[in-house]
Structure 1
Amino acid sequence: MKRIMVVFGTRPEAIKMCPLIKVLKERQNARVSVLVTGQHRKMLDQVLNAFDVIPDYDLSIMKEKQTLFEITANILNGIKAILEKEQPDLVLVHGDTTTTFATALASFYLQIPVGHVEAGLRTYDIYSPYPEEYNRQAVSIVARYHFAPTEQAKLNLIKEGKDKDNIYVTGNTAIDALKTTIRKDYSHEELTWALGSRIILLTAHRRENIGKPMEGIFHGIKRILEENPDVKVIYPVHLNPLIREIAGSVFQDEERVHLIEPLDVLDFHNILARAYLVLTDSGGIQEEAPSLGKPVLVLRDTTERPEGIKAGTLCLVGTKEEAIYQSIRNLLHDKAAYNKMCQASNPYGDGFASKRIADILLRENES
């Protein structure tokens, strides 16, 4: 029996790892334990509850205004004794968070093999996104298994000299999650408020966007609202107090912008499915929204998901006010451009990534 420990700490990781946990726990030849770091707290717990996943261990590291130094040090200090007690055959981590980096480093120190879910995403700009680009490159150095969501991600890893026999193209587990969360008969007070309007769903939280870039994003949106009375914006605001301060300042007099608390995963996915278009600096939403036929304007200067750009599901628009304004305006008024993005093929998977990953890990165990 293979002993697998799954480690994550943030809301996006949880959304993508919970489907995999469910699949692994169904296999008779796997003993699965779950450790969460609590890098996010409230937002993480919402996802755990939605997927009915109960962690075996919780480091509960989150505190107000925590720094990257504190997150990394607290995880390293907290996880060592647990790894030594559990002695897993494999530690599974996801993506590019500081939890992922610190867990992979701790596993390396204890010579425990690491499986990296969503491996191979790259911008090759070490500060964009920050610190995520460094984190994922560092994890790839120590990973034994690279579960790449796309062929492009696989090629990135091969170009870096990773053993191609350890790289597996699986699709993205984010698409797996959507299969369990979307409801036909869904209702929500925010959808009632926006009834009859075109909904722009906004998420903006990246560290490198806090400050002037975020102000540029928000002012570009304000200009759209001034010209389009049939548009309303739903913005689940990140818990970071700096982001809340900027959003409150720019949107304080906007009746057609709802600044709301972070949504649980079921609510978010179902509002996403009913939005007209999506503005985001998130990574995961760049995968989720296209699978629902929603155009995505990426509020960043770089993206580690070039497949979406190539397929036409994503458009990279940066953070400048004028660029934001013109890009939204184009999709609101050019139906052909809008439909082209809606109908583009989603390159991120078919909803069976978790099964593929489990098959790979446990097939090897049997051989």
Structure 2
Amino acid sequence: RLCYICRLDLTTLDPVHPSLCIPCAAFNHASSLLSTPPRLSLPATFTAVVTGARVNLGYHTTLRLLRCGARVMATSRYPRDAVARFLAERDAAEWKDRLRVVGADFRSAADAFDLVHETRRCLRDWADGGEMKLDLLINNAAQTLTDGVKKEERAVEREQLLKNDMKNESFLIEGKYRARVRGGAIPMALEGLKSNSISYDGVEEKVKVARTEERLTPNGATTLEVEPYSKSSWIQSLFEIPYEDVISAHSVNTFVPLILCRELLPLMGTPNTETSTEPPTPAKPAAYIINISSREGIFETTPYSPTKRGKHVHTNMSKAALNMITETEAAVAWRGRRVAMNTVDPGYMSAAPEYEDAYDGVRPIGWEDGAGRVLWPVAVGEREGVAVWGRFLKHYG
């Protein structure tokens, strides 16, 4: 068995992170602490947008930013559920006035542009007559596995229940958004295509397996229920993946991050009025863009790599495209506005249903570790004045 970070033989396991050797666990812990209070103290004017912030990585990253003093706009397909989760935190009273939650389903391009509009309006309110600016954009929302229709229907129903019960509307920037199944899109009929090689009916292949699913009830309690489990796209081949999943993965993982970078970058950083092609001075970033990706988006050293093997090609494609946003635009963003753009692979924190029991059901790192990786470029920039940009970052480097 190998250490998750250094890939050397594990001889002595860390008690907290048994997938790490002792030195790597110490390095992981110290690096993660850089983006926690009081080590990272952000100014009261620091503003951030985090997409996909209702649960998991986006949720924990948003909490870190709030606890470090930032003002955060958090997006979610289910915004009222997101508000309920944030306000259930014990220390919510300390930072809740700096939180705004925006509804957006990135399977719809219209929602992305509505988010841009709401972001501008919120930043204008926060500026209170001053300069309207955005300091951090984290493109975290991702479509890896497509939820079943029934699961989405339950989430939409919960949003309606919360709408009737919730008394904390001040945290919610609702705008025109309404939660809807499949982003309100009508499944493709693929009309006019005569080839027998194309088959799509919008229904996933059913597998005689059941899984437990955690649900949050309107009063904040957690319940477990069992539902029939659909074969996930993580183990589907090129010929099995529904076209709907192919399109939604690219919409969420690639197209919307591109839209947000393009529309919000003019609100970030400081314009460089010099004509020199040399890197700007001072070196401390004026703003940050972090695109959350994974190793699925990189070219492997061998065509027989076990990380690909003819599975989830649509996700791999979308992550590769996301990486190209960073590689293509990072230098321009840095030289033009002193915005440090990076791609971050936050690590192995979750698994597809088919792999839930791998490694005894324990992932090498947790969501807090992932949040530390995501915010590391911000921490070294704000704490030490060090500019890290144009990089594919994994394990804090």
Structure 1 length-normalised TM: 0.35
Structure 2 length-normalised TM: 0.33
Between structure 1 and structure 2, the one with the greater Rg is 2
Higher relative contact order, structure no. (Cα contacts within 8 Å, ≥ 6 residues apart): 2
